[in-house]
Amino acid sequence: MTRPEDYVRTSSRPSDLRITDIRTATVGWDGWRFPLVRIDTNQGLSGYGEVRDSGSRTYALMLKNRLVGENPCNLDKLFRKIKQFGYHGRQGGGVCGVEMALMDLAGKAYGVPAYALCGGKFRDYVRVYCDTPNEPTGEAMGHKLKDRLARGFTFLKMDVGIDALFGQPDTLAYPKGLLNHDQDNVAPEHRENFWAIGHPFTHVRLTNAGIKRLVDYLTAVRSIVGWEVPIAADHFGHVGVDDCLRLGEALEPFNLAWLEDMVPWQYTEQWVRLERALRTPVCTGEDIYLKEGFLPLLQAHAVNVVHPDMATSGGIMETKRIGDLAQEYGVSMAMHMAGTPISTLAAVHCAAATENFIALEHHFSDIPFWGDLVQGVAKPIIQDGYIPVPEGPGLGFEPNLEALREHLLAESQGFFADSSQWDAERSWDRLWS
C-alpha cells in the first residue's frame, strides 16, 4: 500500500525523532555577542537557533533537561512547556533560540521549509531595512544613508536623539553627573548611570536650542537622500514623554516612517499620548515577550507599528501570532533584528508567513564576513535590499562551522561543548498545584 510519506523527501522518521542534547557556542565581534544554540537528535539531525544579542546562553541551557527525550516536531507542545522560562528583553532569548532550533529540526524532519510549518508564505522575498547608528552630523548621516540606497536598500532607519547633543552647550538641561560626558566634573559618589535609569526618571530636558539642532540634523539628511525614501528614527534617548512630544512635533515635517521606542514599551498610557498627539506613526516592541505582552498596546490603539524582535518575542511561530494579532487591530508589523544570519534567516521565514509585515531590520551591512557564517543559501544573503526566502528544509541553511570558529568568544567556553552539567537540573515547573 502506498503511503503519503513515500512521496515526501524525509531525512528521518519524524514520529521516532527525539532530542538527545542541547549545546551552545557564543560568537561575536566589535562588542556584539551572539549565543548560538544547537539541538541534537537520535537520528543525526541537528537544529540551530540564536539567543538575542547580548543575552545569556544560560537561558537556553537551563531548558535542556525539560526537552531531552521529547520529539522536536511537537512544536506547540514544547513551546507551551518552555515559554514560562522566558521574559521581556534578553531574558526571552533562551526560549526563542530553542524555538528557532526546534523549527529547524521539524522542518528538516518533514523535508519542508520553516515557513510551511507556519501555514505557508505571503511573499518570496523579504524586504530589509538598513539601520544606521549615530553619526556626528546630519551631513555625515545623509551620506551614510545615501550609500545604503546605492546598495539597493529601499527602506532606511537612523539614530537621532540626545546623543548628538552631548557636549553641545545650551541644548540639554539635566542634573549634573547624570550624563557620561560630564561625570569627570562630579565626585564619584554622586555619579549616576544614565542608561540604568528609566526614561521618566532622568529629568533630562531638551532645550529649544537642542530641538533646533536636531531639526537642522534632519534637514541636512533629507537634503542629501531626498524625500521619497522611507526613513524611520530610533534611539532618541532617555527623556520623558513631554519632551518626546515636543521633539516628535518638531520632526513631523520630515515625513519619517515611524518614531521608535520614544518611551519604554510598558507605559501604555504614555504611548496613547504619543499616538494621539503626533501625526508621525509611532512604533515599539523589540523588548516585548509573547503576544500577550503586545495586547495592552493594541487594545489601547497606542501604536501604529509593532516591532517585535523574534529573538525576544518568542520565536518564529509566536512572532507570526503577534503579527496576526496586530493585523486584527489594523496595525502593521516590522521586525527588529540585530543578529547573525542564523537568527536573521529564522526571521525571514516568520516575515514570509506574516501578511501585515513591512520590513526586517539589518544591523551589519558594514561587516564583510557577516554572510559567511552560514552556507547553503544564495549569496549574498541580502540582494538589492531583499532576502530571498530559503526553500530548503528547516531554516534552509547550514552553519559554516569554520567561519563561526573564527569569531568564537572566550566566554563561550568551547565550541558547542559538552553541556552534561545541565543534565540533572530539576524543578517542579507546573504553573498550578
189 three-state secondary structure = helix
Which SS3 state, helix, strand or coil, does residue 173 take?
strand
Mean pLDDT of 3-17: 66
CATH label of the domain that carries residue 259:
3.20.20.120
pLDDT at 177 over 80: no
Predicted pLDDT at 200? 87
φ/ψ (deg, to 5) at 125: -130, 140
The answer to whether residue 5 sits within a structural domain is no
Mean pLDDT of 344-352: 98
Between β-strands 259-260 and 305-306, what pairing exists: parallel, antiparallel or unpaired? unpaired
Tell me if 229 sits within 8 A of 154, measured CB to CB.
yes
CA distance 75 to 394: 13
Is a pLDDT exceeding 90 seen at residue 91? yes
**What local confidence, expressed as pLDDT, does residue 425 receive?**
81
**Counted domains in the chain:** 2
58 within a domain of the structure (yes/no): yes
Residue 39 pLDDT > 70 = yes
Exposure string of 290-317, with b = 16+ CB inside 10 Å and e = fewer, is bbebbeebbeeebbbbbbbbbbbbbbbb
Burial string for 229-255 (b: 16+ CB within 10 Å, else e) reads: bebbbbbbbbbbbebbbbbbebbeebe
Give the residue, 81 or 179, on which the prediction is more confident: 81
Query: What confidence score (pLDDT) does residue 180 get?
Result: 66
pLDDT score of 12 more than 80: no
| C-alpha span between 49 and 35 (Å, rounded) | 9
212 in the same domain as 99: no
Is residue 174 domain-shared with residue 261, that is, in the same domain? yes
Q: What is the mean pLDDT of residues 166-182?
A: 83
Residue % of the chain over a pLDDT of 90:
86
Asked, for residue 182, whether it belongs to a domain, the answer is yes
Residue 428 has a pLDDT of 82
Q: Among 54, 61, 78, which Cα is nearest to 23's?
A: 61
How high does pLDDT run on average in the chain?
94
User: Which CATH number belongs to the domain containing residue 28 in this structure?
Assistant: 3.30.390.10
Torsion, Cα of 242, 338, 294, 235 (10° steps): 0
Residues 6 or more apart whose CB falls under 8 angstroms from that of 378 comprise 388
Task: Say if residue 80's pLDDT is above 70.
Answer: yes
The answer on 201 and 247 residing in a single domain is yes
The verdict on residue 407 lying in a domain is yes
Residue 296 has pLDDT above 90, yes or no: yes
Flag whether 14 is in a domain.
no
Cβ atoms of residues 11 and 45 within 8 Å: yes
Q: Are 337 and 310 in contact (CB under 8 A)?
A: yes
- What φ, ψ does residue 350 adopt, rounded to 5°? -65, -45
pLDDT at 306 over 60: yes
Q: Is pLDDT at 2 greater than 80 in this prediction?
A: no
Position 339 pLDDT exceeds 60: yes
- Mean of pLDDT values over 24-42: 97
* Side chain identity, residue 390: P
Whether residue 34 sits in one domain with residue 99:
yes
Q: What is the pLDDT of residue 196?
A: 75
Whether 231 and 262 share a structural domain: yes
- Shared domain for 80 and 129, answered yes or no, is no
242 and 153 in a single domain? The answer is yes
Q: What is the DSSP secondary-structure string of 204-216?
A: -EE-HHHHHHHHH
Q: Using 50, 70 and 90 to split pLDDT, how confident is the model at 3?
A: low
Higher local confidence (pLDDT), 199 or 228: 228
In a domain, 152, yes or no: yes
- Whether 162 and 64 map to the same domain: the answer is no
Can you tell me the mean pLDDT for 203-229?
Answer: 97
H helical segments located in 177-315: 208-225, 241-251, 268-277, 290-299, 310-313
The percent of residues above 70 in pLDDT, for the chain, comes to: 94
> Could you tell me the residue range of the domain that residue 410 belongs to?
19-113+400-422
- 157 contacts 149 by C-beta, under 8 angstroms: no
Do residue 318 and residue 376 come from a single domain?
A: yes
Q: What is the DSSP letter of 389?
A: P
User: What tens digit of pLDDT does each residue of 363-386 get?
Assistant: 999 999 999 999 999 999 999 999
Q: Tell me the C-alpha distance between 139 and 199, whole Å.
A: 28
Tell whether 393 and 405 lie within a shared domain.
no
For residues 22 and 60, is the Cβ–Cβ distance under 8 A?
A: yes
- The answer to whether 100 and 316 are in contact (CB under 8 A) is yes
| pLDDT tier, 226 (very low <50, low <70, confident <90, very high otherwise) | very high
Question: Is 93 in the same domain as 206?
Answer: no
Per-residue pLDDT, averaged over 308-318, amounts to 98
Nearest 5°: CA angle at 126, between 398 and 154?
Answer: 125
- Whether 431 is covered by a domain: the verdict is no
Confidence of residue 246 (pLDDT cuts 50, 70, 90): very high
CA 98 – CA 92 distance, rounded (Å): 10
The angle formed by the CA atoms of residues 139, 145 and 148, to the nearest 5 degrees, is 150
What pLDDT does 191 receive?
Answer: 66
Asked if residue 429 is part of any domain, the answer here is no
CA 49, 54, 57, 58 torsion-angle sign: negative
What is the distance between the alpha carbons of residues 44 and 378, in angstroms, rounded to a whole number? Answer: 25
Instruction: Give the pLDDT confidence of 257-273 residue by residue, as tens digits.
Output: 999 999 999 999 999 99
Looking at the fold, whether 93 and 184 belong to one and the same domain comes out as no
